[in-house]
Amino acid sequence: MKLLVGLGNPGPKYAGHRHNIGFMAVDRIAEAHGFGPWRARFQGLASEGHLGGEKVLLLKPQTFMNDSGRSVGEALRFLKLPLADLIVLHDEIDLAPAKLKVKTGGGHAGHNGLRSLHAHVGDGYHRVRLGVGHPGHKDAVPGYVLHDFAKADAGWLDDLLRGIEDGAPALASGDWATFQNKVALRLTPPRSSKPAPEAAPKPAPAPEAPREDSRSPMQKLADRFR
């Protein structure tokens, strides 16, 4: 069994925030792959289903971002899962919008959700880092991530989430390369290899009709001797 966790803050007030892209991702996986209804479990909302041949529990901690580790730790202990079976999807300001990277282990880089996870379960889990961009100055980060995505982000955000839907079975099986390729195909579809059709040749212009000679007989005779 695999535990896929999306990080975010609970409630409609936060639903569209950049910080909630992890929630958005697991919601789309659940919908696209026919998971069961969301139920209150492990101080969060959980939904069970299958991705490929892998049994999966999706989890959205409801303890707020800064205390996400409490919910995740409870789920891991109850399910008796090692950290190798935990995959966490979260926002990443150090990646450009629409960029995605998979990472195993390492530091939390100041992300409060990951900081809480490190404190409660350790750092040896897998992370799907979902790029949301950086506001430009560290002091602006809290207001930036706790704010809705801009309307201009709607296109790439939907493509990114569709790519995660497509690649979810590979993600659950630990095939990171296939997962990332599925996402990339949504964000940058391949160009057609078929040559462009040649333009139809333009029809030749119709020949002009001969003009009628309106000269008088005397003008014609005079023109012959010029």
CA distances from 181 to 3, 78, 204 (A): 22, 33, 50
User: Tell me, what amino acid is at 108?
Assistant: H
C-alpha 164/C-alpha 171 separation (Å) is 9
Query: Active-site residue 19, yes or no?
Result: yes
Query: Which residues make Cβ contacts (< 8 Å) with residue 97, sequence separation at least 6?
Result: 131, 132, 133, 153, 156
Tokens 């008088």 locate to 216
Q: Is the dihedral of CA 173, 92, 31, 75 positive or negative?
A: positive
Q: Which one is catalytic: 19, 90, 111, 126?
A: 19
- For 224, list phi and psi in degrees, rounded to 5: -70, -25
Question: What residues are annotated to the active site?
Answer: 19
